[in-house]
Structure 1
């Protein structure tokens, strides 16, 4: 998927030390910030020529606009904002574009990429990587949940793609905002059911999905995607496309 061209960087912008701002939702749970920091560190390790920063829309800090302001004051002249979101729901459609609107007065060219979803081969690879190596008869893809019907469709597509990859019956589940729960999805499938995690970081909703699934008899529950190499590769592709250049130095 190509990045959105909101705030696209000029093709003649210098590419030395671009700022890369990863924007997570944020949580009161310190595990969520630790997961986002781990992902930012993995991206930075893969691309030392990028100035990679973690930021958060809520709860934890820093906020993305604060990071953009600091980059501008430091002399950075181009930045790429990457939403750490798996669906294009409210935060991706409203909250993060609003940050770019506020950053318009900065002496900084800013590009906004698409979210990391919907489903792709890389995302499915990451989901499979995180699944425990347990013999399964079926799989549930558990996600946070959203009231956005179009976004839920993309999660259901991801569940179908995961089932097809594994050659297993599959179902989708949500921790909030929409049915079914993880437990309901587990009970709807036969045999030994495992649960894949359509979460980038742990937190209240992830824990809720895990508890519901285990109570219903799930034999395995995957940890969040966090800093899986496939997520790093997705971010890499988004940033490279936004910078509108060829391969950058690793």
Structure 2
């Protein structure tokens, strides 16, 4: 006769910590969003890659614009399903307007609808506290090697563009780290909103003597900006343009590290604006920006 404790069902919480400091809370990835359908496909691919990398972890995708569901709707759905906590991961390469304003607003909306839901908001995928994660650099280098396995003597780090000076400084830190890791000079260029253009950056490096200039695409997903960067770079003489990061294995690893490091139930004031307490400047946001690295 079986002992009763062997047949008693084990009740497990719908979310919470797991051994080893790894989070078991359901994860909601939140991307910028784009009118280009390829961007949503790329975000879903990254969500699948993250789920595969940590079996049993619920991972879903959301978007700030153009594609449903939005982050507030995704969080509300988790609360309605009985989850008591969740982690929101901004798929953003800088902590600019979207991270400081749009994401906190979405979390506040979800919490107003589901007060029992605790939401941890992770850091962006770009530099945090001026530190560039090695996984981000590894993903950029992977895409460069896939585009052209040969050697380069100069690189252009091409980003979507932003008017936010702090966001541009963040992109500059990535360029400096990429140059240090690659051993070649790296210039920053933008597809919109700020100079220099990708074509101008490639042309300048070639004028300075570089013969093999490659462009490293600082984009999380394909879209119109990445397409424009590719055309401009090749017209200016670049030998290669890397693909967007999309679901690079290193990017999935970075997402999981951000999940595990997300602070406990981190919320910003619901009526006071961004997390840093400053009033956001409309000029920091480029309306309609697609695949933008700025948050």
**Shared fold (TM-score, shorter chain, > 0.5):** yes
1:14 Cα shift? 2.9
Match of 2:153 among 111, 120, 137: 137
1:202 Cα shift? 0.6
CA distance in 2, matches of 1:160, 1:187: 19
Report the more deviating stretch, 235-244 or 79-88: 235-244
Note the aligned Cα RMSD (angstroms): 1.4
CA distance in 1, matches of 2:170, 2:261: 22
Match of 1:51 among 58, 65, 78: 58
CA distance in 2, matches of 1:14, 1:163: 40
2:175 matched to 1:159? yes
CA distance in 2, matches of 1:34, 1:81: 19
CA distance in 2, matches of 1:21, 1:223: 24
Match of 1:101 among 100, 108, 126: 108
2:216 matched to 1:214? no
Within 5 Å, which residues of 2 pair with 1:158-177?
A: 158-177=174-193
1:164 Cα shift? 1.4
Instruction: Tell me what 1:111 maps to.
Output: 120
User: Secondary structure of the equivalent of 2:156?
Assistant: strand
Aligned residue pair count:
232
CA distance in 1, matches of 2:81, 2:35: 30
1:243 Cα shift? 6.9
CA distance in 1, matches of 2:260, 2:137: 21
Match of 1:37 among 29, 38, 44: 44
1:134 Cα shift? 2.4
- Runs of 4+ more than 2 Å apart: 13-17
Instruction: Tell me what 1:90 maps to.
Output: 97
Larger-Rg structure: 2
CA distance in 1, matches of 2:150, 2:243: 14
Q: Deviations over 1:22-55 (max 9, x none)?
A: 0001111111011001000000111122210000
* TM-score normalised according to structure 2 size: 0.76
CA distance in 2, matches of 1:14, 1:172: 41
The answer to whether the Cα contact below 8 Å between 1:15 and 1:243 also exists between their aligned partners in 2 is no
Instruction: Tell me what 2:139 maps to.
Output: 126
1:242 Cα shift? 2.2
* TM-score normalised according to structure 1 size: 0.89
CA distance in 2, matches of 1:62, 1:211: 32
Instruction: Tell me what 2:259 maps to.
Output: 239
CA distance in 2, matches of 1:134, 1:216: 19
Instruction: Tell me what 1:7 maps to.
Output: none
The answer to whether the Cα contact below 8 Å between 2:87 and 2:122 also exists between their aligned partners in 1 is yes
Q: Deviations over 1:81-104 (max 9, x none)?
A: 000000111111111111111122
Q: Gaps (5+ residues) in structure 1? A: 1-12, 245-250
User: Secondary structure of the equivalent of 1:92?
Assistant: helix
